[in-house]
């Protein structure tokens, strides 16, 4: 039986699933997320690594050292380039951060906070639901 959340890449080569309702969903405006998403921010959800199951495909991991000095692996489909998840974060052991856009049904998840708002583009102000979210200029503690 399929788990509660399923997802994958644009071409369908990589598929994953998980059951955990995320306790951390963030809109992040840090420069790393801007580079990685190719946009003004990235939205991701944190889930326990032991609940994240890769069903198919062989994502490519690119190791990166963030401004914090901690390493992480950005995992993407080697065929279509879709960013899927981040793993092996030094500051968040045993956690996988799934990209919201990789979920089959992203509407099932809502951001809980905005972080690194000091890097938010000046033309992008909190609006609607985002204006109600807790705002953090850096990493929330």
Whether 31 maps to a domain, the answer reads yes
Whether 139 maps to a domain, the answer reads no
What is the domain-level CATH number for residue 41? 2.170.150.70
Residues spanned by the domain of 80: 5-133
Whether 46 maps to a domain, the answer reads yes
Exposed e or buried b per residue across 96-132, where buried means at least 16 C-beta atoms within 10 angstroms of its C-beta: bbbbbbbbeebeebebebbbbbebbeeeeeeeeeeee
- Burial label, 86 (beta-carbon count in 10 A; 0-12, 13-18, 19+): buried
- Main-chain phi, psi angles of 42, to 5 degrees: -130, 145
State yes or no: pLDDT of 128 exceeds 60.
no
Whether 140 maps to a domain, the answer reads no
Q: The pTM is what?
A: 0.89
Q: Which of 95-99, 127-131, 135-139 has the highest mean pLDDT?
A: 95-99
pLDDT in tens, 58-89: 999 999 887 778 889 999 999 999 999 999 98
Whether 17 maps to a domain, the answer reads yes
Whether 93 maps to a domain, the answer reads yes
Number of domains in the chain: 1
Which pLDDT score, from 0 to 100, does residue 93 have? 87
| Residue 108 · residue 43 · CB < 8 Å | no
Which pLDDT score, from 0 to 100, does residue 2 have? 63
pLDDT cut 90: percent of the chain above it: 60
Whether 81 maps to a domain, the answer reads yes
């Amino acid at each position: 039986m399929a788990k509660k959340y399923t997802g994958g890449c644009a071409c369908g080569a990589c598929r994953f699933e998980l059951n955990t309702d995320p306790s951390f969903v963030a809109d992040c405006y840090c420069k790393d997320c801007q580079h990685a998403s190719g946009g003004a921010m990235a939205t991701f959800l944190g889930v326990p690594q032991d609940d994240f199951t890769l069903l198919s495909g062989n994502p490519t991991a690119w190791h990166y050292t963030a401004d914090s000095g901690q390493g992480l692996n950005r995992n993407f489909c080697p065929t279509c380039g879709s960013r899927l998840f981040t793993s092996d974060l030094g500051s968040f052991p045993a956690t996988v951060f799934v990209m919201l856009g990789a979920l089959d049904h992203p509407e099932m998840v809502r951001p809980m906070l905005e972080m690194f708002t000091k890097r938010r583009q000046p033309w992008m102000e909190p609006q609607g639901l985002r204006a109600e979210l807790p705002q953090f200029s850096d990493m929330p503690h």
